[in-house]
């Protein structure tokens, strides 16, 4: 996955080779599609495998929140680096060239360097610095020394039957769809707000172009600081109420934007709210997904992959719908953009947050449970299938929320 991202990402942020001003758009689209497909495959492979490590490493609910929060904190740190580099480059560009507050083709190199540069550096650093780790005895090719209570025969140590919840069994669990809908709504809020915040700042608020770097930077710093509060808050009030608090913060942001169409310097305060709310709901929804997986880590990658698939499809359809409603007939922004992007920011945050609240209410009314109905059970070592467990023993349920 890392190799796919490393190789495809630079091509996405550079003009197609051999293209000129007369090149039709469909030809450029055909050129970029393979690189986008490779990038999305690599991104999914990297993200899903990384998320799947959380249920493998810990079993405690609070430790899952802690690891998810740490993961999000480092994600935010990477985003802060990108926007920090963009802000420095835009600031340097204004000081050493003709001052202009509007985006144009002269700003393309700034985005190429700020997006592709830090990412490639981090990937190369990880690839060169990473090495497999494991127990010291295994790394040196030795088996662990037997202890006093170590059985002489491998089959002598019997363990209770363990239910195998396969990927196809997940599709029969109502909890799977409950968490998927909540995660999809969460990703819609986070991704769409990040996508349209730049248009809102430049086209609706008519702010200088440096704000497209400083405002997201403030959002990510707010989210970074909020992520460290996730473990104690989850431990204090629980998953559902923590997620609800995040939704309330997002709704406050949406209400602020809706009521104040000419927000000025207060946009920094609104950015703090959006960053904190987005971090809260994203970390909590990922923790709920880890809870859904539980000890059935062999199907954990499928769960994270399915969640990612729902959010990708939903975000793609949402962006297509928004762009089809765009009031301007050309690519350039017209007078209708001012109100259009203003209400887009309200809907993608406040409107989707209302839908997420409905999903959360369903989870609170019908708590998320994983039912092991008709699931294969690993037999005891040396036992016959009949001794592995009766039907009643297999029909158990586990509350994860």
What are the pLDDT digits (tens) for 160-191?
555 567 777 788 888 889 999 999 999 999 99
- pTM, two decimal places: 0.72
Structure tokens at 315: 């975000």
Neighbour count for residue 78 (Cβ, 10 Å) = 14
Q: Is 153 helix (H, G, I), strand (E, B) or coil?
A: coil
In DSSP notation, 161-181 reads -EEE--HHHHTT-HHHHHHHH
Within a domain: 73:
no
Closest CA to 317 of 342, 286, 277, 352: 352
37 close to 196: Cβ distance less than 8 angstroms: no
Residue 5 CA: distances (Å) to CA of 2, 32, 36, 124, 398: 5, 14, 9, 11, 38
Within a domain: 205:
yes
HSE (side-chain half, CA atoms, 13 Å) at 150: 7
Within a domain: 20:
no
In DSSP terms, 370 is beta-bridged to: 398
Within a domain: 395:
no
Within a domain: 359:
yes
Decide if pLDDT at 121 tops 70. no
Neighbour count for residue 178 (Cβ, 10 Å) = 21
Total count of domains within the chain? 1
Within a domain: 131:
no
What are the pLDDT digits (tens) for 71-81?
888 877 877 77
Within a domain: 328:
yes
Decide if pLDDT at 376 tops 60. no
Residue 281 CA: distances (Å) to CA of 241, 242, 284, 289, 352: 10, 8, 5, 12, 12
pLDDT at 394: 40
More confident residue, 77 or 153: 77
More confident residue, 72 or 343: 343
Residue 391 CA: distances (Å) to CA of 164, 372, 375, 382, 395: 14, 11, 10, 20, 6
Domain that holds residue 309: 169-365
Within a domain: 115:
no
Q: What is the CATH number of the domain that holds 347?
A: 1.20.1250.20
pLDDT at 181: 93
More confident residue, 255 or 326: 255
More confident residue, 287 or 82: 287
What are the pLDDT digits (tens) for 286-306?
888 888 887 777 778 888 888
Q: What are the b/e assignments for 131-141, b being 16+ CB within 10 Å?
A: eeeeeeeeeee
């Amino acid at each position: 996955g890392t190799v796919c991202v490393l190789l495809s990402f630079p091509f996405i942020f550079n003009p197609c080779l051999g293209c000129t001003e007369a090149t039709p758009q469909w030809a450029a689209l055909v050129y970029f599609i393979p690189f986008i497909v490779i990038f999305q495959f690599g991104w999914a492979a990297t993200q899903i495998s990384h998320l799947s490590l959380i249920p493998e490493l810990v079993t405690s609910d609070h430790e899952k929140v802690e690891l998810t929060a740490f993961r999000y904190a480092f994600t935010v740190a990477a985003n802060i680096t990108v926007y920090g580099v963009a802000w420095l480059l835009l600031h340097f560009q204004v000081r050493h060239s003709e001052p202009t507050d509007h985006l144009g083709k002269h700003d393309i190199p700034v985005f190429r360097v700020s997006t592709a540069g830090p990412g490639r550096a981090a990937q190369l650093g990880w690839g060169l610095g990473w090495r497999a780790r494991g127990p010291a005895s295994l790394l040196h090719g030795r088996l662990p020394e037997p202890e006093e209570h170590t059985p002489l025969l491998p089959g002598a140590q019997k363990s209770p039957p363990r239910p195998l919840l396969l990927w196809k069994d997940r599709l029969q669990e109502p909890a799977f769809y409950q968490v998927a809908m909540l995660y999809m709504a969460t990703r819609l809020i986070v991704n769409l707000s990040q996508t349209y915040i730049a248009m809102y700042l430049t086209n609706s608020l008519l702010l200088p172009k440096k704000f497209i770097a400083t405002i997201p930077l403030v959002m990510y710093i707010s989210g970074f600081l909020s992520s460290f509060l996730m473990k104690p808050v989850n431990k204090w009030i629980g998953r559902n109420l923590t997620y609800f608090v995040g939704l309330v913060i997002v709704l406050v942001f949406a209400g602020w934007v809706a009521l104040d169409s000419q927000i000025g310097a207060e946009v920094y305060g609104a950015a703090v709210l959006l960053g904190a709310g987005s971090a809260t709901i994203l970390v909590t929804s990922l923790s709920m997904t880890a809870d859904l997986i539980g000890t059935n880590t062999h199907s954990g990658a499928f769960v994270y992959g399915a969640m990612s698939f729902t959010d990708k499809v939903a975000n793609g359809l949402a962006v297509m719908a928004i762009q089809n409603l765009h009031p301007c007939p050309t690519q350039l922004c017209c007078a209708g953009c001012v109100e259009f992007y203003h209400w887009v920011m309200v809907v993608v945050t406040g409107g989707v947050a209302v839908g997420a609240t409905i999903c959360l209410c369903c989870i609170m009314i019908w708590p998320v449970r994983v039912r092991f109905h008709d699931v294969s059970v690993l037999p005891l070592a040396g036992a016959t299938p009949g001794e592995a467990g009766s039907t009643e023993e297999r029909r158990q349920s586990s509350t994860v929320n």
